[in-house]
Structure 1
Amino acid sequence: MPTPEDPAEEIATEDGAFAAAEAAAAELSTPEQPMGAKGKPLDWRLPFLIGMTAAAGVAVTYGLVQVLAGLQDVLILIGLALFLAIGLEPAVAWLVRRRFPRWLAVTTVFVVGLLAVGGFLTAAIPVLVDQATQFIAKAPGYLHDAQDHATILGQLNERFHLQQQLEGLVSGSAGGLGGGLLGAGQAVFSAITNVLILIVLTVYFVADLPRIRAGGYRLIPNSRRPRAILIGDQIFTKVGGYVLGNLAISVIAGVLTLAWLLIFGVPYAALLAIAVAILDLVPVVGSVIGGVLVSLVALTVSLPVCLATIVFFVIYRLVEDYLLVPKIIGTAVQVPALVTVVAVVLGGALLGVVGALVAIPVAAAVLLLIREVLYPRLDQA
């Protein structure tokens, strides 16, 4: 009957094997190759290795998808901050060309921007509070008119069920916010926090944009790097021109709306003008939504004023599409109208308002890559 080996002999045997391996390792190490010569590579055609590689690839891909889904809100903030930084770069570069140090140019741009926003809010907040108070005071009267079938507002309510839709929207929003002041407070706090994070990220991105640009181009092979620099800089130019141009057009829309509403005595003129300027930042659909909103408020004055306001927004939309956009941002972006509509719809479906805002410059970048990279390769195929 066999007996088990002595444990001491087994340990001695293992120590001897390890000592032999150490001696072999010492012989392999040379000044030219301190870690020794490379061994025979693995045969990746083995079925086991192929299966393990495929399984690992699926697991890593699934993990990355889950990580990206969990970080969606943060990634949107980072992407939007980078987008705004590229948009502000032309102003910073203009100051740098005037012999401003970059840190001073970045500081100047943000200080001027904050002063402009602060001055606007200082002038607008009292008016907005006053108009919001008036609206709250007159809301019962609007509700009574909506229930009176003899008035125009009542007839529209009866035909389109405006009151029921508004009540459903308000109740749904209240439920989505947690139902009550606590949910509204959380939403406001979250919005303020996101805005502050966005501002801080934008400042850092603008300050380090040359380093980010150089680091990104270093990831491209040296043989392709010069052409990549030309194409990438052209994309940056398109994004910068779009951001500044879109902001200028929105300001024009708000100012013209304010003038029109003041002339015809439409209530809540400042509130509506700011709403139109913000909505006009969203391409294609923003100005339409703003026009509908202002026209409904103008209906409280009279039907002729409402019709005149509709005509005003139709004319302004034509002027914006065929005069302002081509003159201000058309030469920089150069995106066909059909591509613009499709890009805005897809961007809005994927990322909401943020997707609609960045859809046009992203479409411009994709068209540039197709024209400069894909088409030449297909023509030579």
Structure 2
Amino acid sequence: MSSTSDPSAADGHHDLVGQPHDEQREGPLAHAEAEAARIREPGAPLGALGPRFDRRSPFLIGLAAAAGVAVTYGLVLVLADLRGVLIVIGLALFLAIGIEPLVSWLVNRRFPRWLAVTAVFLAGLGVVGGFLAVAVPVLAEQVGQFAERAPTYLRQAVAEQSWLAKLNERVELRQVLEQVLSGSAGLVQAGLAVFSTLADLVILLVLTVYFTVELPRVRAGLYRFVPHSRRPRTILISDQICVKVGGYVLGNLLVSLIAGALTLVWLLVFDVPYALLLALTVALLDLIPVVGSIAGGVLISLVALTVSVPVCLATVGFVIAYRLLEDYLLIPKIIGRTVRVPALVTVVAVVLGGALLGVVGALVAIPVAAALLLITQEVVYPRLDRA
């Protein structure tokens, strides 16, 4: 049966597929070809939609389950490989949301959005650039002095029979640190680490700029994924979360600047070496909630010990006093009114965030906890109360 002798079969088979078209080549498919020609209609040239598969079929259930496991496993592998990139992207979005209150404040005062974003970033870069122009020569000198004297400080620290000396005997801490500080291998590794960090910072800055400029479109695009009936409520809750993130980011930066400035004044008054370097380190560490200010306080107290024991004790007192000032005055006034996270939740969130994502996790832990608390209070609790 050729295509010319059986017009119904010919009509069921496309002229540009599988020619020549005859029964000898098709065999059992000839009947299906004839049926294909029969079901063709002017309104449905490819035939009407057939019956659905039986979703309760054991084969389909097993196939769907296996496919779900395979897809989930593949996604886990992909996320693990892209972990570093995803952290940078997530941090850029987090910073963009944090900057958004300033941008929106300018937009509300009739600035075009592109001009508002440009003004915010130029102001930020101007502050950082001005600080670096003044501080880099001093920092370079102090870092060089510290690198030269660090082995001497370490030898003096482990000269007595203390716990540090015992640790040195077990793990050869002094030799390792001296090699890192003065060896060529250590310098190469340090250079690679600095280059990698600078590259990540440049990528982070570029992504933050793009996210900030396109945040209204990103926001609208994400809300489109929410069903229409739930969209208004989602907008209210999500915008409130963004306000909390923005308040936390800007408030945390301000508190860290205050910590660095007060530390610099204290160290200069008591002539503690590397004052600017230590103050900058304290400001950066203070960005990390809970543990950052403690680590910075321990650091400056140890360096103050090189001046004298009374100066060290006075510095310990200063650290404790500032920690109380920060916890009970600065944070409640600057951050607390916006974020409103209980102390216990703050500590647990910082510990979990640090364990999962390191420093970045600790930085974003509190606003994430605030967002989860808001969702719990506005969504979870009301549903449970009505259950």
TM-based fold match above 0.5: yes
Measure, in 1, the Cα distance between the counterparts of 2:125 and 2:360: 22
Quote the offset at 1:139 in angstroms.
3.7
Closer, same or farther in 2 for the Cα pair 1:276/1:12, shift >3 Å? closer
Q: Which of 80, 83, 86 is matched with 1:72 structurally?
A: 83
**What are the superposed Cα offsets for residues 140-197 of structure 1, whole Å, 9 maximum, x if unpaired?**
5424533554xxxx767447759967537638979xxx94443333222211111111
Measure, in 2, the Cα distance between the counterparts of 1:314 and 1:70: 42
Q: Which of 256, 262, 269 is matched with 2:262 structurally?
A: 256
Q: Which of 62, 72, 78 is matched with 1:61 structurally?
A: 72
**What are the superposed Cα offsets for residues 211-263 of structure 1, whole Å, 9 maximum, x if unpaired?**
11111111111111111110000000000000000000000000000000000
Within 5 Å, which residues of 2 pair with 1:168-247?
Answer: 170=177, 179-247=185-253
Describe the SS at the equivalent of 2:55: coil
Within 5 Å, which residues of 2 pair with 1:67-146?
Answer: 67-139=78-150, 141-146=152-157
Determine what percentage of the aligned residue pairs are the same residue.
Answer: 63
Describe the SS at the equivalent of 2:228: coil
Quote the offset at 1:198 in angstroms.
0.4
Closer, same or farther in 2 for the Cα pair 1:163/1:55, shift >3 Å? closer
Structure 1 residues without counterparts, runs of 5 or longer:
1-7
Q: Which of 303, 309, 334 is matched with 2:340 structurally?
A: 334
1:362 alignment partner AA:
V
Measure, in 2, the Cα distance between the counterparts of 1:292 and 1:163: 24
Residues 353 and 362, structure 2, Cα contact 8 Å, conserved in 1: yes
Residues 281 and 357, structure 1, Cα contact 8 Å, conserved in 2: yes
Residues 157 and 163, structure 1, Cα contact 8 Å, conserved in 2: no
1:36 aligns with 2:54: no
- Count of residues paired in the alignment: 365
Structure 2 residues without counterparts, runs of 5 or longer:
1-21
Closer, same or farther in 2 for the Cα pair 1:208/1:163, shift >3 Å? farther
Describe the SS at the equivalent of 2:121: helix
Measure, in 1, the Cα distance between the counterparts of 2:207 and 2:249: 17
Quote the offset at 1:37 in angstroms.
2.5
1:297 alignment partner AA:
V
Quote the offset at 1:112 in angstroms.
1.1
1:291 aligns with 2:305: no
Within 5 Å, which residues of 2 pair with 1:12-23?
Answer: 13=27, 16-17=30-31, 19-23=33-37
Q: TM-score, normalised by structure 1?
A: 0.89
Q: TM-score, normalised by structure 2?
A: 0.88
Residues 156 and 162, structure 1, Cα contact 8 Å, conserved in 2: no
Quote the offset at 1:25 in angstroms.
3.9
Higher RCO structure (Cα 8 Å, ≥6 apart): 1
Closer, same or farther in 2 for the Cα pair 1:21/1:165, shift >3 Å? farther
Residues 344 and 360, structure 1, Cα contact 8 Å, conserved in 2: yes
Residues 151 and 177, structure 2, Cα contact 8 Å, conserved in 1: no
Measure, in 1, the Cα distance between the counterparts of 2:242 and 2:271: 43
